Structure 1
Amino acid sequence: MGENAVEDAVTTCVPGTRDTDVAVKPPTVDIVIPVLNEERALPGCVETLHAFLRDTFPLTWRITIADNGSTDATWDIARDLAARLPDVHATRIEVRGRGAALRHAWSHSPAEIVAYMDVDLSTHLDALLPMVAPLVSGHSEIGIGSRLARSSRVRRTARRELISRCYNLALRLSFGTGFRDAQCGFKAVRADVVRPLLQRVQDDAWFFDTELLLLAEHNGLRVHETPVDWFEDVDSRVNVVGTAWQDIRGMVRVARRMSAGQGRVDLPPRRELAPVHPDAVVAPATNPLLAKLVSFALIGVVSTIAHTSLYAALRTVWSPEWANLAALAVTAAANTEANRRWTFGRRGGARTRVHSRAGLLFVVNYLFTTTVVVTAVHALPGHGRALEVAVLLLAYVAMTIVRFAVLDRWVFRDRPAALTG
């Protein structure tokens, strides 16, 4: 939905009872709690957090309750808490989505560091100071809680654990991310850094966290991970599967924008811990692989369907070896050319070198698939044509995965520039 929709929404702010002090001396940390219809959980959450900060937190702080379109008594409770507890602030927007609430609250916060945590307090509060401290010292620009760190203690269902690990693995493989847990509801960001990033973040829902982190790393910012103790809220209303699907769509969108050069952000100067040596080499931002994977997968689906269909047609008149050879020859040539143009962006020369290398890959592909079909399937007693085609399809899919790695690392790899003396 984006920033414009949030700014166009009706917004209401209720300052805390000590808001005049905040105006004189802004807090170091503003902890935002995004809420939507949380009338039952909100009072206990804010009172617990308030007591923890008052008694143990060494930095100046403020709590901001960010209501985004609640229809129950959440907003009334938020206003009461802001009026009753010192250093509690309440704000409301008429746009739903956790990202929308954080975008609005972080954009208007007077604090040096803006943070957020979920209203269920699933993450133990002892991790708050270790997460914020590197931002205060200047070591990092973003701090996140990680449930996947080795020393974290986590209790959640196997289904949610599997989805979380697969999602974060997909991020690491496709974007080369350095962080391990993108979706833990426990994060902090330097305010001067997050505001330029918010102008590029498009998602206003659950993918907001991931998009922010991907853009941050893409622009060379440092993300510090803090191990956390995390216990799943059994009353959570998050649709894990639906959210995961929206996240995958968000990954594709971000990868395309980055590949088009639209992920760069003008950021304030970094606070370096030590001078940078003039001869030091700074690694460029990681080029995301997801855009390549999406293009390669679409071409691969078409090639697989074409190969299987052509093999099935030729198999009625030819032996498995010759049918597979003809089907592979046609589809491999078309596949290589399509990937050369669209996946790896090679529209100029070097076509001979590319197709000769791809030809070697074609030979390996043919030998593997033919061996599987002829040797393995034909050794089975009473095998049928349907089993033969099915096994060939599986073998072709397996070789397609290998094919992407070889194309990316060898066939379409850029030649190193000539060394100059």
Structure 2
Amino acid sequence: MTNHPSAGQAAWGSGSSAPPGRTATVEIVVPVHNEERALAGCVDVLRDHLARAFPFAWSITIVDNASTDGTPDIAAGLAARLPGVRLLSLPRKGRGLALRTAWTRSAADVVVYMDVDLSTGLDALLPLVVPLVNGHSDISVGSRLAPGARVVRGPRRELISRCYNALIRLTHGVRFSDAQCGFKAARTDVIRPLLARVEDDAWFFDTELLLLAAYNGLRVHEVPVDWVEDVDSRVHLVRTVLDDLRGLVRVARAKVTGRARVPGLPRRPALRPAHPDAVLAADGALRWHVASFAVVGALSTVAHLGLYAALRLAVPVLPANLIALSIATVLNTEANRRLTFPAPNGRAPRSPLRIHVLAMAAFGLYYALTSGALLTLHAVVPDPPSGLELAVLVGACALGTVGRFLVLRRWMLHPAGK
């Protein structure tokens, strides 16, 4: 591994040190592999934009990933003659490896990553960085799928991107819309602990980083971008998608086992209960929880009845009811997890799988409560009137519903891992 200049030297674009009036330092990392045609033009355009429209002290680090063409020589020449540009040479390929190495060694306050093709419009660079500099957010990502984004790309890549990001949101319950846009930034003090847990060194690196950030309660800021597809892209889509699917499974397993919990990350303080706004927020949240839980429950009941009616065409009463009720419970839990009890800001959400397992356990207790109430009634009153039986069942259901509400609210809103 070689550096031009040395890893500890900050070559800021405005001079050897951050100039007066500039409150933060930003290092922009551009990974390259066999990019001899695009590299020089990219650096020229980027430096011109930074000099004209970027208010912070900046440096550009070109990370060469074992290029076999003229890229290393071009990069070395740029680093030698242009202030604020340096070269980091790595012996093997991997976008994730490039970012991990450069970001870990960075002395800047904020680190940025962008693709060498500059597919993303540079007007989004300042909105990407500002929320990190002022402390509002921990990680910023450019999004081609957020409202306001303008994108030019083929239908095949558009479909794959939308399906992949929808799969991420469905399986991991995250809210960011675009995991793999080559335009990201992070506070350096936040990113270092995360990098120690990110395993992928290739294209899944971005997704894994964001999944761990969201799981650990960090604030991810999205910036809608202008993006034009690079027709010379050499990404192997099918192989990349398969690797990403394996990565999603691996991260889910890490959440279940606890390996996804990252110590040493900053925690955002919760609203203090004594604050008037916090009290109002808590009251409003409780009203929302009750109303949303009731609506979800009503819809789940409709789903339960519909499934039961369909299953009764092929299976006996008890199995039909058990299967329909189990499916409705899963749907109910997922809807409540996403809509009724989303994780509060600054707190890491519990694992979706863990929540579903706990919810099924609560369902078992609910089922035992209602069945036990009926069995107890029949033991005390051998032949109870139908009205009494119905009243006992309604009471047991009401008690079980309140208990389930309190249990789910506690599980889903309580800080993960505590």
Band the TM-score falls in, shorter-chain normalisation: 0.5 to 0.7
Q: Secondary structure at the match of 1:122?
A: coil
Structure 1 residues 176-191: aligned runs within 5 Å: 176-191=173-188
Residue in 2 aligned with 1:25? 17
Q: Secondary structure at the match of 1:237?
A: coil
**Distance change in 2, residues 1:322/1:100 (3 Å):** closer
RMSD: 3.8
Selected match of 2:202 from 198, 201, 205: 205
Structure 1 residues 128-207: aligned runs within 5 Å: 128-207=125-204
Whole-Å separation in 2 of the counterparts to 1:349 and 1:127? 47
Whole-Å separation in 2 of the counterparts to 1:241 and 1:40? 26
Q: Does 1:344 align with 2:357?
A: yes
**Distance change in 2, residues 1:120/1:350 (3 Å):** closer
Task: Give the residue type in structure 1 aligned to 2:73.
Answer: D
**Distance change in 2, residues 1:97/1:345 (3 Å):** same
What's the offset of the Cα at 1:166? Answer: 0.7
Residue in 2 aligned with 1:390? none
What's the offset of the Cα at 1:55? Answer: 2.1
Residue in 1 aligned with 2:5? 15
Q: Does 1:100 align with 2:97?
A: yes
Residue in 1 aligned with 2:271? 276
Whole-Å separation in 2 of the counterparts to 1:165 and 1:347? 31
Whole-Å separation in 1 of the counterparts to 2:257 and 2:97? 25
Q: Secondary structure at the match of 1:205?
A: coil
Deviation string 1:56-96 (CA, Å, 9 cap, x unpaired) is 21110000001111122211111111001110011011121
Deviation string 1:198-225 (CA, Å, 9 cap, x unpaired) is 0111111111001111111111111111
Q: Does 1:116 align with 2:113?
A: yes
Residue in 1 aligned with 2:338? none
Whole-Å separation in 1 of the counterparts to 2:368 and 2:92? 53
Q: Secondary structure at the match of 1:224?
A: strand
**Distance change in 2, residues 1:75/1:252 (3 Å):** same
Task: Give the residue type in structure 2 aligned to 1:169.
Answer: A
Task: Give the residue type in structure 2 aligned to 1:29.
Answer: V
Deviation string 1:234-289 (CA, Å, 9 cap, x unpaired) is 000011222112111111110111122221112343577xx832455999xxxxxx
Task: Give the residue type in structure 2 aligned to 1:171.
Answer: I
Selected match of 1:254 from 237, 241, 251: 251
Q: Secondary structure at the match of 1:325?
A: coil
**Distance change in 2, residues 1:177/1:94 (3 Å):** same
Whole-Å separation in 2 of the counterparts to 1:258 and 1:74? 40
Asked if the contact 1:34/1:98 (under 8 Å) is kept, the reply is yes
Task: Give the residue type in structure 1 aligned to 2:17.
Answer: K
**Distance change in 2, residues 1:81/1:271 (3 Å):** farther
Asked if the contact 2:217/2:267 (under 8 Å) is kept, the reply is no
Asked if the contact 1:19/1:87 (under 8 Å) is kept, the reply is no
Residue in 1 aligned with 2:296? none
Residue in 2 aligned with 1:244? 241
Selected match of 1:77 from 58, 74, 78: 74
Asked if the contact 2:138/2:219 (under 8 Å) is kept, the reply is yes
Structure 1 residues 389-404: aligned runs within 5 Å: none
Deviation string 1:351-374 (CA, Å, 9 cap, x unpaired) is 5855999xxxxxxxxxxxxxxxxx
**Distance change in 2, residues 1:278/1:50 (3 Å):** same
Deviation string 1:144-187 (CA, Å, 9 cap, x unpaired) is 11111221110000010011011111111122212111110000
Residue in 1 aligned with 2:37? 40
**Distance change in 2, residues 1:270/1:59 (3 Å):** farther
Matched pairs, number: 315
Q: Secondary structure at the match of 2:118?
A: coil
Structure 1 portions without partners, runs of 5+? 1-10, 284-320, 358-409
**96-105 vs 344-353, which deviates more?**
344-353
Residue in 1 aligned with 2:295? none
Selected match of 1:222 from 219, 226, 249: 219
Q: Does 1:89 align with 2:79?
A: no
Whole-Å separation in 1 of the counterparts to 2:58 and 2:367? 59
Identity of counterpart residues, as a percentage?
53
Deviation string 1:306-346 (CA, Å, 9 cap, x unpaired) is xxxxxxxxxxxxxxx999438x959x88xx7xx99997268
Q: Secondary structure at the match of 1:206?
A: coil
Selected match of 1:267 from 264, 267, 280: 264
Residue in 1 aligned with 2:47? 50
Whole-Å separation in 1 of the counterparts to 2:408 and 2:163? 41
Whole-Å separation in 2 of the counterparts to 1:41 and 1:266? 40
Asked if the contact 2:65/2:92 (under 8 Å) is kept, the reply is yes
What's the offset of the Cα at 1:106? Answer: 0.3
Deviation string 1:118-166 (CA, Å, 9 cap, x unpaired) is 0110001111001101111111111111111221110000010011011
Residue in 2 aligned with 1:360? none
Whole-Å separation in 1 of the counterparts to 2:112 and 2:246? 26
Whole-Å separation in 2 of the counterparts to 1:256 and 1:45? 39
Q: Secondary structure at the match of 1:61?
A: strand
TM-score w.r.t. length of structure 2 = 0.66
Residue in 2 aligned with 1:4? none
Residue in 2 aligned with 1:293? none
Selected match of 2:229 from 229, 232, 242: 232
Task: Give the residue type in structure 2 aligned to 1:276.
Answer: L
